[in-house]
Amino acid sequence: MAFVSGLPYEVEVKVWTSIFVSTASFCPPARRKRRHWHVLDSRHGLVLFYTPKTRHDFLVCDLVTCKRWWINASPKCKDIMSADLDDHDEDENRTWNAMMFCAKEGCGHLDCHGLPFQVVFVGSYDKEGIILASVYSSETGEWSGTNSIAQPETIDKRGHSALVGNNVYFPCEERNRIVNYDMAEQELSVIDAPSEYQSDIVLMGAEDGMLLFTTVQNSKLCLLSMEAGPNRAEGWARSRVIELKPLLPLRALREDISVVGFAEGVGVIFLRTVAGLFKIELTAGRSKKVHEGTSFDKVMPYTRFYTGERGAAPIEKLHAHLFGATTV
């Protein structure tokens, strides 16, 4: 497993840096710090970066083989993106996020090899009250036309996205709202998060075909799930509550705890605390400190099967962590 995470912008000169940390015996070559690379998503053996200081807007990368696919945004998407993430004067009127996934038909995503993939961009002109979406295909090398909806929302540019079937989900900065784009129907909508935790709920990803939301309250990790029903009716159910006192050191419990990452398929949650970054294994009920850093605000787990050159080596599953950090 691998992860990328980010620090809040609290320094005078802000530089977003992506950091790769491997927890496997095999260490891939793409493990250096990458300044000005903002990690957006990690899925199906690939990582999506926003690279504003290069000649291209996005980079999709296989961290094991070092294969790279550079992508430029469409003119309409680029207009929204023009407020640079590393710029002091961000335009809160224009916000966006993006995610990617393997687009190979019938693929089980256990050993994806890069192509084909798709990138989904969702952006917002908040003052104009418009949300739009566009999809890039590696097969055509082009972006689709944009679909839009009249809805005044601000997209969380550093939030985690989720993929469930043909639907992608992005959180809004107001945590009780989620943007849903149905790629099959090419329709946008906005749905509500659970009302009981509206102020603190965070979209972390998907598990077992359901959206997973988390929050930490009174030293308890609360996991909630959502399953989209017929006619866009949403059903909510609390998955479980985990007591953190037996899992974290006393110092970590003294101040606020934030959920900053989730490893889909393996049931691992990442928590930022004043005592460092911890991972919680939900099924086993175990915890482990994985980094001394205390300011990460995004962790993107990365999982990949490595079979060696031409499949000669035994299959080894790469587990690593990608950190996105803000440094001087």
Task: Return the structure tokens found at 201.
Answer: 């709920």
| 102 within some domain | yes
CA distance 282 to 81: 36
Q: How many CB atoms lie within 10 A of CB 234?
A: 15
Instruction: Report whether the peptide linkage leading into residue 29 is cis, meaning its omega lies within 30 degrees of zero.
Output: no
- Tally DSSP H helices, then E strands, for the chain: 2, 25
| 3 within some domain | no
| 310 within some domain | no
| 24 within some domain | yes
| 290 within some domain | yes
End-to-end CA distance of the chain: 27
pLDDT of amino acid 253: 94
Q: Token match 């992608």: residue?
A: 168
What's the structural domain count of the chain?
Answer: 1
pLDDT in 10s for each residue of the chain, 328 residues? 555 554 444 444 455 666 666 655 555 555 556 666 788 998 888 889 998 888 999 999 887 778 899 999 999 999 998 765 444 445 568 899 999 998 887 666 566 667 899 999 999 987 788 999 999 999 999 999 999 999 888 999 889 999 998 999 999 987 678 999 999 999 999 988 766 665 578 899 998 888 999 989 889 999 988 875 444 445 666 678 999 999 999 999 988 899 988 988 788 999 999 999 999 999 899 999 988 888 777 888 877 665 555 444 444 444 555 554 444 3
- Prediction pTM value: 0.85
pLDDT of amino acid 105: 77
CATH of the domain at 142: 2.120.10
Parent domain of 71: 15-302+317-327
| 41 within some domain | yes
pLDDT of amino acid 155: 93
CA distance 306 to 36: 28
pLDDT of amino acid 82: 79
| 88 within some domain | yes
Show Cβ contacts of residue 62 under 8 Å, excluding neighbours closer than 6 positions: 45, 46, 47, 68, 113, 114, 304
| 39 within some domain | yes
Closest CA to 197 of 181, 210, 216: 216
